[in-house]
């Protein structure tokens, strides 16, 4: 079903409640059907909020295959068009399909970067890891958002959050997010605080990113501005960004200031091509919404402009300028989820009008940008390292080997591609 249609249906009174209850019933029935499916020690299921091959799940999957190629990796996709992103050794299953529920029973390890679906059951010998898609949020999430936003409350009516019941390990690269997750998801279990895997590479300053630039058709001399706003709960079409931001004026200002050639990579949150009121695409403005991995885009960008997205906190690891353009601040604060902190008390460099934004760009220096990034990371109480992937993978493999020693999962059946 078209995503816009789905979002429109969610706004019908009672539709979300009935939808989540239906999922809960279906999940319960699938669990009963699969109760005799044996758990296979060396099989792992990954599920991301968008179903794409990206984020921390991608970093973990790549590392597992690198050091333990005998582990079977299953990936839950949500759009048939994204299956081509997956390497040949990964088995795709459609999210919430019969094959998906069967793999929930068969896999000894689950890794999600979003909340678990309704009505599922985790066995005692299975290991569930939660690695949320962003550990430096500005906006409220999960139950925190439900408490303050009427529209979000309607959209999620009937949803149950089972993180505290099922999660064995929660990953975060900031102490602030541990407190937020405890409050918003009700989780009080074990925490691995060495970071989230997608951000490991941002701390490795010698990591080669030339292949990413080439894949996007960038010239070696191009400096890169990344524009990546978040979604609005009160809008059906996430790709349409209702802003007076003029990216051409921003690029003109950057080129005049630096004497270099600049291009802008623009990326919408919801997977739809971005449409801006005051900006027409040209050779300097490239829509990269379909590019799966945000971390890649961060690595090659010289400056970030966003609004309320957690990518601002991640970008701080680069030491480069990150600016917030919030021309709809009052509307966002009243119609969307609200914030997890007082924005006025945060260290972020913010603008609410084009003149303010251009002035920030004119005034920012490399030294001030690096200082501000340190302030942002201190604000979130960052604990990110460059080895969180290795840390969690070692725990995953230890669990698998422990299961194998105990003789669990004697079945050798292969994952079902569906």
* Mean pLDDT, 10 residues at a time, the chain of 418 residues: 55 74 87 93 96 97 98 97 96 97 97 94 96 96 81 75 95 98 96 98 92 94 96 66 88 98 91 67 87 96 97 98 95 86 97 98 98 98 98 98 72 49
In this structure, are 184 and 211 located in the same domain?
no
CB 236 within 8 A of CB 197: no
Counting the structural domains of the chain, the total is 2
Question: Do 294 and 167 fall within a single domain?
Answer: no
Given the structure tokens 């004697």, which residue do they identify? 410
Residue spans of alpha helices (H) in 173-246: 175-185, 210-215
Nearest to 69 by CA among 50, 44, 51, 49: 44
Domain that holds residue 241: 205-380
Question: Has residue 365 been placed in a domain?
Answer: yes
Please report, for the domain that includes residue 317, its CATH number: 3.40.50.12580
**416 inside domain:** no
pLDDT for residue 416: 53
Asked whether residue 411 is domain-assigned, the answer is no
The answer to whether position 118 is within a domain reads yes
Residue 415 belongs to some domain of the structure: no
The burial of 49, by beta-carbon neighbours within 10 Å (0-12 exposed, 13-18 middle, 19 or more buried), is given as middle
Helix boundaries (H) for 156-288:
163-166, 175-185, 210-215, 247-258
pLDDT for 4: 57
Count helices and strands (H / E) in the chain. Answer: 16, 15
Instruction: State residue 391's pLDDT score.
Output: 98
pLDDT of residue 410: 41
Cβ neighbours of residue 6 under 8 Å, at least 6 residues apart?
A: none
Nearest to 117 by CA among 134, 140, 100, 139: 100
pTM of the full structure = 0.91
Cβ atoms within 10 Å of 371's Cβ, excluding its own: 13
- Which one-letter DSSP state was computed for residue 254? H
* CA separation for the pair 353, 122 (Å, rounded): 50
| Judgement on whether residues 57 and 172 belong to the same structural domain of the protein | yes
**Nearest-angstrom CA–CA distance, 332 and 138:** 12
Of 145, 165, 163, give the one whose Cα is nearest residue 155. 145
The number of residues in the chain equals 418
User: How far apart are alpha carbons 110 and 399 in whole angstroms?
Assistant: 12
- pLDDT for the residue 54: 96
In this structure, what CATH number is given to the domain that contains residue 102? 3.40.50.11820
- 320 and 214 in a single domain? The answer is yes
Residues 129 and 263 in one domain: no
pLDDT at residue 232, rounded to an integer: 79
Does residue 249 fall inside a structural domain?
yes
For residue 5, the model assigns a pLDDT of 52
Residues 11 and 156 in one domain: yes
Contact 372, 322 (CB under 8 A): yes
């Amino acid at each position: 079903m078209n995503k816009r249609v789905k979002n429109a249906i969610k706004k019908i009174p009672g539709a979300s409640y009935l939808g989540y209850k239906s999922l809960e019933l279906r999940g319960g029935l699938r669990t009963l059907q699969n109760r005799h499916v044996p758990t296979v020690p060396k099989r792992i299921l990954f599920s991301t909020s968008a179903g794409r091959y990206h984020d921390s799940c991608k970093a973990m999957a790549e590392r597992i295959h690198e050091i333990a190629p005998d582990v079977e990796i299953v990936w839950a996709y949500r759009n048939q068009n994204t299956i081509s992103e997956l390497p040949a050794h990964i088995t795709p299953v459609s999210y919430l399909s019969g094959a998906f529920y069967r793999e929930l029973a068969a896999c000894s390890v689950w890794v999600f970067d979003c909340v678990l679906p309704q009505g599922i059951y985790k066995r005692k010998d299975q290991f569930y890891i939660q690695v949320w898609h962003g550990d430096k949020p500005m906006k409220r999430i999960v139950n925190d958002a439900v408490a303050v936003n009427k529209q979000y409350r309607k959209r999620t009516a009937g949803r149950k959050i089972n993180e505290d019941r099922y999660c064995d390990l929660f990953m975060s690269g900031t102490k602030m997010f541990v407190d937020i997750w405890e409050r918003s998801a009700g989780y009080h279990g074990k925490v691995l605080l060495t970071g989230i895997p997608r951000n490991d590479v941002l701390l490795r300053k010698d990591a080669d990113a030339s292949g990413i630039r080439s894949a996007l058709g960038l010239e070696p001399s191009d400096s890169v501005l990344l524009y990546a706003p978040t979604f609005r709960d009160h809008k059906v079409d996430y790709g349409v960004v209702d802003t007076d931001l003029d990216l051409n004026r921003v690029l003109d200002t950057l080129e005049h200031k630096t004497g270099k050639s600049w291009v802008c990579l623009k990326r919408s949150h919801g997977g739809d091509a971005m449409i801006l009121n005051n900006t027409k695409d040209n050779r300097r403005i490239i829509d990269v919404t379909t590019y799966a991995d945000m971390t890649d885009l961060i690595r090659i960008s010289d400056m970030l402009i966003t609004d309320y997205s957690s990518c601002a906190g991640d970008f701080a690891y680069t030491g480069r300028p990150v600016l917030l353009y919030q021309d709809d601040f009052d509307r966002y604060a009243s119609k969307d989820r609200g914030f997890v902190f007082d924005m006025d008390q945060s260290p972020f460099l913010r603008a609410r009008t084009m003149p303010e934004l251009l002035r920030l760009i004119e005034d920012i220096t490399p030294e001030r940008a690096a200082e501000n990034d340190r302030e942002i990371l201190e604000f979130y109480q960052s604990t990110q390292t460059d080895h969180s992937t290795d840390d969690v993978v070692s725990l995953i493999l230890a669990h698998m080997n422990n299961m194998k020693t105990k003789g669990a999962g004697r079945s050798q059946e292969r994952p079902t591609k569906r």
